[in-house]
Amino acid sequence: MPANGAMLRIARQRKGFQQTEAAARLGIDQSLLSRIENGFVEPRDEVVLRAETAYELPKSFFFLTDPVYGAPVSVHPMWRRKADVTVREMDAIVAELNIRIMHLRRFLDGAEYAHANDLPRLDIEDYGDPEHIAALVRAHWKVPRGPIKDLTLLVERAGVLVSHSQLAGAAVSGVTFATPGLPPLIVLNSEQPADRLRFTLAHELGHLVMHRFPSPTMEEEANVFASALLMPASDIRPYFVGRRVDLALLAALKPEWKVAMQALLMRASSLNLVTKNQAQYLWKQISARRLRLREPPELDFEPERPTVVATMLRVHLDALGYSRKEVAQLLHTRENGLTEFYDAPDPAETPKPKFTIMR
C-alpha cells in the first residue's frame, strides 16, 4: 500500500512548513510535493523516510487512511480575530485537530466513555433567543442557581471532550470540532487566563447547542449564550441592584462568578443594570488602567482542568497495561510526542470519568 499524500500534508501543516520549505527538507521539487499531497503521485520510499525526520513522526503515520476534515463551523469562515491569524496558523490548527481526532478514535476503540448527561441540541432557528437557550441548558443539566463551579466538568459530563492547546500560537481563543461517529471536541487556547478559558468554553458550547450551519450572527449569538449561561439574569441581578457599580465591585465579583470584570460589565449593561453613561465611564477606566488585555493578576484563579481525554491515556497505561511506547505506536506518533497532546492527571487529584473497557 502506498503512503497517503493527505497524511503528508497534515504532517507538514502541523509543523507549520510551507510547501517550498517542506520540499527542500524532503529533497524534491515543490511541484512534485504538491502532486503527492493531492494524491496524483505516489511518494517514493526515500521521500517517506525523509518525512519521518522532517515531520518528527513514525513511518506508520504516513500510511494511515483516516478521513481528513476541513475547518469546522466555529472556525470557518468567521474565525474570531481572523485578521490576526495567518493561513499557515489556520492550517496548523486544523491539522492538529485532525490528529487529535485520529487519536481519539483509537482511544475509544479500547475504552468507551460513559457520560452522565446528554448534550441538548436547540437550534437557534427554532428557539430564536440565545438567552432562553442558555436557560434551557442549565435546566436540562440541573445546574443550581448562581455561579457555575466547574463548567469544564459539566461539559465533559455531557459527552463533550475538552482539551487545552497552544493552538499554533495563533490569536484563536477556541475551536469546536465535531466529526461523525465521535464525541464533539472543544480545544481551548491554553495561553488564556482562567476567566477567558471559561467564557470561551461557554461560547464554543453555544455553537454546539445552537448552530448546525454557519450564519453571519453566530458569533454574537454564542457570546450572548455564554454570558447568559455563566451569569443568568435572575441570579446576577441582585449583585448589582442597589449597589455602586464601579471597578471595585467588578473586581469583588470576578472570583465568585469566575468571569472577567469586563464580562461582568457587559452583562450588567445588557440587563440595564448600569446606565449608558456609567458603562462608558467604566470602560474608559478599564482602558486607562490597561485592563482590557490583562486584568489584575491578584484576581486570577486556577483554571479548570479537562480530565476525560487525559484519562483515556491513563486508562490505556493503567487498566489496559500499555507501555508509553505501545501507546505511541497505537497513536502513530513518537513516544516523546505524547506530551505535546496529553498531560495525564494525577489520579488522586482529579474526578474519575467512567470508562467501559472494550475487549
Is 55 within 8 Å of 21 (Cβ atoms)?
no
Over residues 137-163, the pLDDT tens digits come to 999 999 999 999 999 999 999 999 999
Whole-angstrom distance, CA of residue 212 vs CA of residue 73? 8
Over residues 72-130, the pLDDT tens digits come to 766 533 344 445 788 899 999 999 999 999 999 999 998 888 888 999 999 999 998 99
Structural domain boundaries in the chain: 1-65
- The mean per-residue pLDDT over the stretch 55-71 comes to 95
What is the Rg, in whole angstroms, of the alpha carbon atoms belonging to the chain?
22
Burial of 139 (0-12, 13-18, 19+ CB in 10 A): exposed
CA distances from 247 to 114, 133, 286, 357 (A): 43, 30, 8, 51
Over residues 250-300, the pLDDT tens digits come to 999 999 999 999 999 999 999 999 999 999 999 999 999 999 889 999 999
Indicate the SS3 state at residue 23. Answer: helix
Mean pLDDT taken over the chain: 91
How does strand 111-114 pair with strand 174-177? unpaired
| Residue with more model confidence, 213 or 232 | 232
Is 54 within 8 Å of 79 (Cβ atoms)?
no
Cell of 166: 497552544
Task: Kindly report the pTM of this predicted structure.
Answer: 0.92
The DSSP bridge partners found for residue 189 are 165
Question: Which of 124, 127, 135 is CA-nearest to residue 217?
Answer: 124
> What pLDDT score was predicted for residue 163?
96
Cell of 5: 499524500
Whole-angstrom distance, CA of residue 206 vs CA of residue 224? 9
pLDDT at 167 over 80: yes
Q: How confident is the model at residue 352 (pLDDT cuts 50, 70, 90)?
A: low
Least confident of 18-27, 168-177, 326-335: 168-177
Whole-angstrom distance, CA of residue 143 vs CA of residue 21? 51
Whole-angstrom distance, CA of residue 239 vs CA of residue 250? 10
Identify the CATH assignment for 1-65 out of 1.10.8.50, 1.20.1440.20, 3.40.50.300, 1.10.260.40: 1.10.260.40
Is 8 within 8 Å of 25 (Cβ atoms)?
no
pLDDT at 23 over 90: yes
Cβ within 8 Å of residue 215, ≥6 positions away:
124, 221
